[in-house]
Amino acid sequence: MASNEERPICRLSHPTQPHSLSRRAGKVPPSGCFACDKDEFSPASTFHYCCTTCDVEFHEFCHRYPKKLTHPYHLQHPLTLSTQNTEIEIKPGYIFKECNWCGDDLRDGSQFYRCLICNFCLDLSCSQNIPTLTITNPKSHHHSLSLFPWPLLFPCEACGLISLLEPSYACFQCNYMVHESCIDLPRVVKITRHPHRLSHTPFLPATTLLCKVCYKKVDIKYGQYSCNQESCSYVAHSKCATHMHVWDGRELEWEPEEDEDEDVASFKRVGDDMIKYFCHEHHLKLEKYDSVRDAKKQCEACILRIDSYDFYNCKQCEFSLHEECADLPRKLAHALHRHPLVLETSPILDYNSAGCSTCARESTGFRYKCSRNDCDNEIQIDVRCVLVPDCFIHKSHEHPLFISTSYSRKGNISCNGCKDSVRDEYYLQCTICAFAMCYRCATIPDEIHYKYDAHPLSLCYGEGEEKEAYWCEVCEKEVNPREWFYKCNKCCITIHLECIFGSSVYIKPGYTFYFGSESMKIIGNSSNTRPICFKCDHRCPHSVYYKLFEKDFCSWFCVWTSDIENCNNSESE
């Protein structure tokens, strides 16, 4: 016979005085199953259950759903197993439509438990939740807590939120109410959005503060996390600080502080305006940009052109870095991920691994990856997206934008720049209005140099009224003035974004990927006679094109949608 710890509870017994079920040999209960009244049994069953106190028997898998039960969510009356039929009133003048605990609809034909006395309804999923009636020595309170068998209709003392979907517990001596999930909140945590540890406190002094995760007001009357440093006013909601996308799950109450003096710099200075970068064999010198000499140079980190300002350059090879990109640390705590990130500079061999998790663009530049081997999120962020700050000021919007809290997202959200749906976890949002922006649009340069214009082009964020017709300088098609585009007011030039960047602007010429067992080369498209794409039969219009099986493709889309096997066979012939 199974031990008491392994024996299930008889669902007919009262939760305050539960009975345990005992196993009996034989698949079919001799007196019949109290739950289903059937003699059939599952081929997987090897025994049946009985409760000697209640004098009932169950099939091995039927004891969870007896005809009647007393549940902790409704201790005052027994509940009866019923079947939902929207066309028939189970009780005159009353049709049961939803579970009184979770609020989910009771579908037609589904089974649920109902109280014959007061019409309380509980769906089968909620009926399987058996919360503890009394919690002794809880982490969050100095008295025992008792189950409050009704959805909590006022704020939880530990998190300040109202949640109707989970049990709550109460200390009636202290008038203290808390959600079940908040009873064991960690006392000390560390999140990547802040350099110091945060401690859970039951309240704060009278002041107005914003949560630095969701940027909404913190109610100081309820529990929240605040910085351990006296001079720091950083604060976060309890649920925000401990969310799975924000917190790494480690309780640090008795853990020693980490070493904050770790050297994470990417270079060492070896002379005046001279550095030794950690992944390059030669020294780099800080130089002034020369429009003639440096017109074709690209930053190895972000792959954008070196087109202005100071940059680091290698005199012995074609290695260059923007000054801002060279300053990026080798290890970084970033709000986009709950673990520290490390800078990865090694070449990407598989094109399918070249995409950024935040903006979805492929890039051959440097990227940040999670430093933890046991992390279940294979995040990869390119350096352009990493450089977007937590509080982001964009010229297209009057309010600051913040990194989204996707767990509070409701419905589909579109980017106000490109109008596409934002990625589930990675976008920027305004906390004052409904404005949202994807990382692809947030990292589009405000100003860019075009080889056929002496002046820099400025990014235009759409015009409210159509003043005049615009035509693209590159493709000679009309430009929609309500969409983003580049323009030069002095020369009256307008260009589509896709005509400036193309489909592979962050793929550097000369790179080689592997497509299965074959190598795919990235070729710079600088010749006067542009090659014709094997797939779409158009000339390759962008700065690079792809060569596979000695065939030319204008984009990765054309490579991916081509009949590769036929392409390979035609080459072999």
Q: Are residues 119 and 87 in the same domain?
A: yes
> For residues 19 and 25, what is the distance between their CA atoms, to the nearest angstrom?
20
In this structure, are strands 544-548 and 145-148 parallel, antiparallel, or unpaired? unpaired
Which domain-ending residue is among 96, 127, 158? 127
Starting from the edge strand earliest in sequence, which strands make up the sheet with 111-114, in order?
Answer: 68-71, 74-83, 111-114, 121-123
Three-point CA angle 111, 117, 122, nearest 5°: 30
| Residue of 179, 165, 175, 235 whose CA lies nearest to 205 | 235
**Could you tell me the two tokens for 361?**
């663009």
Shared domain for 74 and 117, answered yes or no, is yes
Give the chain's end-to-end CA distance (angstroms, integer).
73
293 to 285, 299, 313: CA distances (angstroms): 15, 15, 12
Residue 220 lies in a domain: no
Which one of 386, 404, 427 terminates a domain?
386
Average pLDDT over residues 340-353: 88
Under DSSP, is residue 561 helix (H, G, I), strand (E, B) or coil?
Answer: coil
Tell me the mean pLDDT in the region 499-525: 86
Specify whether 311 is located in the same domain as 352. Answer: no
Q: 3-state class of 238 per DSSP?
A: helix
Answer whether residue 9 is part of any domain.
Answer: no
Residues 559 and 535 both lie in one domain: yes
pLDDT for position 39: 63
472 in a domain, yes or no?
A: yes
Residue 405 phi, psi dihedral angles, 5° rounding: -105, 90
The answer to whether residues 322 and 338 belong to one domain is no
Tell me which of 308, 326, 344 is where a domain ends.
326
Cα 517–chain centre separation? 33
Cα distance between residue 70 and residue 13, in whole Å: 7
Could you tell me where the DSSP H helices lie in 183-301?
238-241
Taking residues 465-474, what's their average pLDDT? 81
- Residue 193 falls inside a structural domain: no
* Domain residue limits at 474: 447-501
Q: What is the largest CA-CA distance in the chain?
A: 95
The count of domains in the chain is 5
Phi, psi of 436 (to 5 degrees): -140, 155
Inter-residue contact 391 to 429 (CB < 8 Å):
no
pLDDT greater at residue 425 or residue 344: 344
- For residue 480, what is the domain's CATH number? 3.30.60
Same domain (yes/no): 497, 518: no
List own/partner pairs for 408-414 with CB under 8 A and 24 or more apart: 408/214
Q: Is residue 371 part of a domain?
A: yes
Select the more confidently predicted residue: 40 or 193.
193
Distances (CA, A) of 162 to 159, 167, 534: 9, 11, 59
Q: Which residues are CB-contacts of 364 (< 8 A; sequence separation ≥ 6)?
A: 303, 347, 348, 354, 506, 507, 508, 511, 522
pLDDT at 412: 81
Give the model confidence (pLDDT) of 382-423 as tens digits: 999 999 998 999 999 999 999 987 655 566 889 999 999 887
Residue 348 has pLDDT above 50, yes or no: yes
* Cα–Cα distance measured from residue 79 to residue 96, given in angstroms and rounded to the nearest whole number: 14
Positive or negative: CA dihedral 318, 323, 325, 330:
positive
Beta strands 428-429; 401-403: pairing state: antiparallel
Bridge partners of 487, per DSSP, are 458, 494
Higher-confidence residue: 240 or 9?
240
pLDDT band at residue 2, thresholds of 50, 70 and 90? very low
CB atoms within 10 A of CB 179: 24
Residue 276 lies in a domain: yes
Give the phi and the psi of residue 568 in degrees, each rounded to 5: -65, -40
The size of the chain, in residues, is: 573
What local confidence, expressed as pLDDT, does residue 3 receive? 43
Instruction: Give the up-direction half-sphere exposure of residue 312: CA atoms within 13 A in the CB hemisphere.
Output: 24
79 and 120 fall within a common domain: yes
Ranges 255-259, 377-381, 405-409, 418-422: which has the least confidence: 405-409
313 and 271, same domain (yes or no): yes
Candidates 175, 189, 245; CA nearest to 213 is: 245
Judge whether 174 lies within some domain.
Answer: no
391 in a domain, yes or no?
no
Q: How far apart, in Å, are the Cα atoms of 444 and each of 107, 113, 138, 206?
A: 48, 56, 51, 42
pLDDT value of position 305: 87
| Displacement of CA 140 from its chain's centroid (Å) | 29
